[in-house]
Structure 1
Amino acid sequence: MVNGTKIGEGRVEIFHDGEWGTVCDDNFDEHTASVVCRSLGYYGGKLITSFHYQYLTIGPGTGKIWLESVSCAGDESSLEDCDHQGWGSHDCYHREDVAVAC
């Protein structure tokens, strides 16, 4: 997580194919947020999108958008194990980058 105002909060970024990139907020929910938090050693998981005041500080990312339409049941060990459209396949803009608070 990047740019959070406190520990356990920030924009979700994922390292794939040697490059960091962001995750689009399409279909991202609290179950998916909890997978992000657990994979980083935190508890809980609250979605922060561009509609939340915290997002003003966190802001959008740059570069690759790696994942869109990520959907987790909640028991997966990482976002890679969740359903998604495929690496780098998206129709998102960085203003749709998702952030999470654990």
Structure 2
Amino acid sequence: MFEGAAEVRLADGSGRCDGRVEVKHQDQWGTVCRVYWDENDAVVVCKQLGCGSVISAVQSKRFVPGSGPIWMDNVDCRGTESALSDCTHKGWGKHNCIHSEDVGVTCTGEVLATPDLCDQIWGINK
């Protein structure tokens, strides 16, 4: 059964493009464990959120630990996926982590569409 891409957000950071990675599964927000977390994984999160490029893939306690379920562990992205849920992982809710191991991401910021790109998207002719 195809579920589509799971929503992703960054929480408790300095803005929309900085914070602890949270993913929505079964209508509940949860966190991602740091095992195997690297820049390729962060690239996918920044891309999915429209937040530009990666500044850092955080595996430390820079952000406040989350609460609720830990949805993903052993995440392994190639960096080409369009959503974090497209990356391989241990299985939804399968982990051996605690919330102090939650990952975070810092991205460069929102990517704004150029006027030419907007013209292409909306078919505006000059």
Q: Please state how far the C-alpha of 1:12 moved relative to its aligned partner.
A: 0.3
Q: For residues 35 and 77 of structure 1, what CA distance do their matches in structure 2 show? A: 6
Whole-Å separation in 1 of the counterparts to 2:24 and 2:16: 20
Residue 35 of structure 1 is matched in structure 2 by 44
* Structure 1 runs, 4 residues or longer, greater than 3 Å off: none
- Pick the aligned partner of 1:66 from 59, 63, 71: 71
**1:49 maps to 2:54:** no
SS of alignment partner, residue 5 of structure 1: strand
- Aligned-residue Cα RMSD (Å) equals 1.0
Q: Distance in 2 between matches of 1:6 and 1:40?
A: 12
Structure of greater relative contact order (alpha carbons < 8 Å, 6+ residues apart): 1
Aligned equivalent of 2:92: 87
Give the gaps of 5 or more residues in structure 1. Answer: none
Total equivalences in the alignment? 97
Provide Cα deviations, 1:36-69, integer angstroms capped at 9, x if missing partner: 0000001112211226xxx1xx211001000000
1:101 equivalent in alignment to 2:106: yes
| Distance across 2 between alignment mates of 1:2 and 1:82 | 21
Q: Is the 8 A contact 2:37 2:59 kept in 1?
A: no
Separation (CA, whole Å) in 2 of partners of 1:93 and 1:41 = 29
2:80 counterpart (72, 75, 84): 75
Pick the aligned partner of 1:12 from 15, 21, 24: 21
Give how far 1:7 is off: 3.9
CA 72–63 in structure 1, closer or farther in 2 if over 3 Å, else same: same
